Chain A
Amino acid sequence: MDWTTILITTVKASIGLETVVYALAAIGINIQFGYAGLLNFGQAAFLGVAAYGMAVTVATFHLPFWLGIVIGLAATVVLAFLLGIPTLRLRADYLAIVTIAAAEIVRLVFRSVKFSSVFGGSDGRQNFSGDFFAMNPYSPGTYGIGPISFNERVTWVLTVGWVLIAIACGLVYLLMKSPWGRVLKAIREDEDAVRSLGKNVFSYKMQALVLGGVVGCLGGFLFALGQASVQPDLFSTEFTFYAYTIVILGGAARVFSPVVGAAIFWVLLVFVGNTLSEAVSAGLLPSLFTVNNIGAVRFMLVGLGLMLLLIFRPQGIFGDKREIALDAR
């Protein structure tokens, strides 16, 4: 058992790319689910259209990087409207089913052979991150403390990512203190009461859906840039489920809880995964566990963890039980 490697990778995971991407996706979900009570199960699609919007603009059509970002953002907003208009007037579970269906549509179109000249099929797109890394202020080398260090490319991606997280958290904090945020929370608590006060509930819900999608799509950009490639299967429905696990783990309707939740989720996932695979190769586990199936165990634990959290502690680590939007409307 190589405990040093396990510990180093675990500590790195707490601030690594996955944590950043999932934190941004989870902040978006927190706006939609935590504050507004909307069950968007298609967050992966929001990240997907943003990442693909940028990647396709740059790699397929050879247009400038910043135009790619603009197109990615525009695609996210359009997707939010497409999903929101039919469903936001209906009950919560309808939005859930439609968004999850939309996420599958988006993924299937991205990976189809038919459109592979645009989206690149199941291989996705590469060669679009040149302009982003050309802006890198870090000179080549490694940055960090001792063994916990990253090369200049990863450092640049992480710097941008954590700055975006800070901005997103600040935005959520200010918005939720504002009258707009109070209306949003009121809608979560009692939609009819808000409507009787003369507020346009549909419009507020739509704004929350768009805002959550846009914050999440920043994670999509970083995901694509950090790996210098996009693949359709990165944006599967399980991505969304993990992001929900993160929000519930941290505690819904709290500003920092998605960030803390993401860090804890990835620390646990990487730690358990590495420990199990080290234990398998060291022969410490029964022969039922092999190198091939050990990866499944930690995702079983994710599912189990999600169930147990909701049964025994739906408010997560930091949440307030009275503020959890778990009543169906």
Chain B
Amino acid sequence: MRRAVIAFTAFLGGLVFLLSSPAWADGEALKGTLQNQGQPVNGVKISVAGEDGKPVGDATTGADGKWEMPVPKAGTYKVTLDQSTLPPGVALKFKDRATLNVQVYDGSERNVLFALAPAGQQDGAAAASSDSSSFWDRVAQLTFEGFNLGLIIALAAMGLSLVFGTTGLTNFAHGELLTFGAMCAYFFNVVVGLPLIWAAVISVAIGGVFGYGQDRFFWGRLRKRGSSLVAMMIISIGLALFLRYVFLFFFGGEGAPYAEYNAQPGIQVGPISAAPKNFIAMGIELAVLVVVGVALLKTRVGKAARAVADNPALAASSGINVDGVIRIIWTVGGAVAALAGVMLGLAQNVSYQMGFQVLLLVFAGVTLGGLGTAFGALVGSIVVGLFIQLSTVVVPTELKTVGALLVLILVMLFRPQGILGRRERIG
């Protein structure tokens, strides 16, 4: 039974459990690892007290950022991080979370997580002062961050929307294209040791090949066999699960940053403070979106792609090679998604779940803009990005995604065809 229980918790508690599961030692204990942007933080004092406030003991993090404190019995404990022992430049991400109440169960070790961030970047730092000028500063800052996120979503959404428009496939495995790109860049950057820029170029190329291969050897074959759209949607879920666990298998469950551009000092531009990497990333994203957009409008292939998205049968009868166009869309979509993944990895850490986590936002952007329209996806994604970041003015940061997903549902209710979509698509 015990074995079955272990097997089951590993699955259910998801991956956190899966990866920290060998901790079935005897004796109850509290433990944790302090990290700031992927780097261990040592010499921080953490004190543990019982529910009644009686101290149990103190622990100090080691060079690897780890600390551990055995406790006498199962029960609830107060764990306090002594903020004065944090190294300069590092602060708690949530100021009011210096003391945590945690429950320790019989015979198990309990991981305690304190989120750290570089000083000045923690949540609520700007909200602490509430005079009007800092409010507008905060809005400006959040608008900038919203564009940053929105552009990444837009890169992903463009491919998803075009694939949907041309083949009708709602591809739940599109998020894994992002993760694939980020993982490739991580491999070439951290394991091989190339500069990140070259690693990004290589991974965008591989992402394109991956997209091409998926259509050539998988989705194209399925279309030929006459698999229905709902079947293909569920197949894409299977593919997403498969790829995600392949990434987990090779990469592990922990997020990891690239080797470069990690703790860039921020620069101040007007009311906005951000690391230079953000400006450059946004510039690249914008340039790629413009290039793809112009290509869709002006080139022969782009016009053909829009024609196929509009009406595949009519496009085929006017002499367009529909399969060829779809293959080009998959290739470009894969490459652009890989770029989005690299950028996402730069903005946060590379992890095996990153693509899946952003996928729902991509869906929100695509539906908001109108399923199947290329430019609608762009508009919708930026709206979603802005909405997510700006909503943190009123809702807690941890719930910002909830707002965006609620908007998705409301759009369905009032304008199901999206901003730029047309009525007939929704039928």
Q: What residues of chain A have their CB less than 8 Å away from a CB belonging to chain B?
A: 5, 9, 12-13, 16-18, 39, 83, 85-87, 90-94, 96-98, 100-102, 104-105, 108-109, 112-114, 123, 126, 150, 231, 233-234, 236, 238, 241, 244-245, 248, 269-270, 273-274, 291-293, 295-297, 299-300, 302-307, 310-311, 314, 325-328
Contact = CB atoms under 8 A, between A and B. Distances in A.
27 contacts: A39-B230, A39-B233, A92-B230, A94-B416, A101-B363, A102-B405, A105-B405, A108-B398, A112-B399, A150-B1, A245-B238, A248-B234, A274-B7, A295-B21, A299-B241, A303-B241, A304-B242, A306-B237, A307-B235, A307-B239, A307-B242, A310-B235, A311-B222, A311-B227, A314-B231, A327-B228, A328-B228
B7 A123 contact: no
Contact of A5 (B3, B12, B238, B405): B3
Interface in B225-259: 225, 227-231, 233-235, 237-246, 248-250, 252
**Which of B3, B10, B170, B398 is most buried by chain A, counting CB atoms within 10 A of its CB?**
B3
Interface in B281-296: none
A85 to B, nearest CB: 7
Interface stretch (B65-73, B145-153, B300-308, B407-415): B407-415
Given A231-B13, A233-B13, A307-B238, A18 B416 contact: no
Nearest to A295: B18
Given A94-B426, A114-B396, A270 B7 contact: yes
Contacts of A12: 1, 4
Interface residues of B, number: 64
A229 B12 CA distance: 13
B408 A98 contact: yes
Contacts of B222: 311
Given A108-B401, A114-B396, 14 more contacts: A9-B7, A86-B412, A93-B233, A94-B367, A101-B360, A112-B398, A231-B13, A269-B11, A292-B19, A293-B252, A300-B245, A303-B239, A314-B231, A328-B230
A104 B404 CA distance: 11
Contacts of A306: 234-235, 237-238, 241
B427 interface: yes
A270 B168 CA distance: 36
B244 to A, nearest CB: 8
A233 B10 CA distance: 12
Given A104-B360, A274-B3, A274-B7, A233 B14 contact: yes
Contacts of A17: 8
A166 B362 CA distance: 41
Nearest to A289: B249
A302 B248 CA distance: 14
A296 B18 CA distance: 9
A85 B245 contact: no
B233 A90 contact: no
B409 A86 contact: yes
Nearest to A312: B225
A269 B7 CA distance: 9
A82 to B, nearest CB: 8
Contacts of B125: none
Given A97-B367, A327-B228, A328-B230, A233 B12 contact: yes
**Which of A12, A87, A93 is most buried by chain B, counting CB atoms within 10 A of its CB?**
A93
B427 A300 contact: no
B364 interface: yes
The 7 closest A-B pairs by CB, nearest first: A303-B242, A303-B241, A306-B238, A328-B229, A307-B238, A86-B413, A101-B405
A234 B11 CA distance: 9
Contact of B14 (A236, A244, A248, A314): A236
What secondary structure prevails in chain B residues at the interface with A?
A: helix
Nearest to A94: B412
Contacts of A297: 245, 249
B39 interface: no
B316 interface: no
Nearest to A100: B360
B53 interface: no
A205 B238 CA distance: 26
Contacts of A234: 12-13
Interface in B123-177: 168, 170
A326 B231 contact: yes
Contacts of B313: none
Interface in B209-232: 222, 225, 227-231
A252 to B, nearest CB: 11
B103 A123 contact: yes
A9 B1 CA distance: 7
Nearest to A278: B3
Contacts of B297: none
B406 A105 contact: yes
B314 interface: no
B238 A303 contact: yes
A238 B398 contact: no
B13 A93 contact: no
Nearest to B232: A310
Nearest to B405: A101
B402 interface: yes
Contacts of A109: 399, 402
B416 A90 contact: yes
B22 interface: yes
A11 B237 CA distance: 29
Contacts of B243: 303
Contacts of B1: 9, 12, 150
Given A101-B360, A310-B235, A300 B246 contact: yes
**Which of B12, B168, B413 is most buried by chain A, counting CB atoms within 10 A of its CB?**
B12
Nearest to A18: B8
B242 A300 contact: yes
Given A104-B405, A123-B103, A295-B18, A97 B245 contact: no
Given A94-B426, A97-B367, A236-B14, A303 B240 contact: yes
Contacts of A90: 412, 416, 426
Contacts of A93: 170, 229-230, 233
Given A5-B3, A300-B246, A292 B22 contact: yes
Contact of A108 (B19, B363, B399): B399
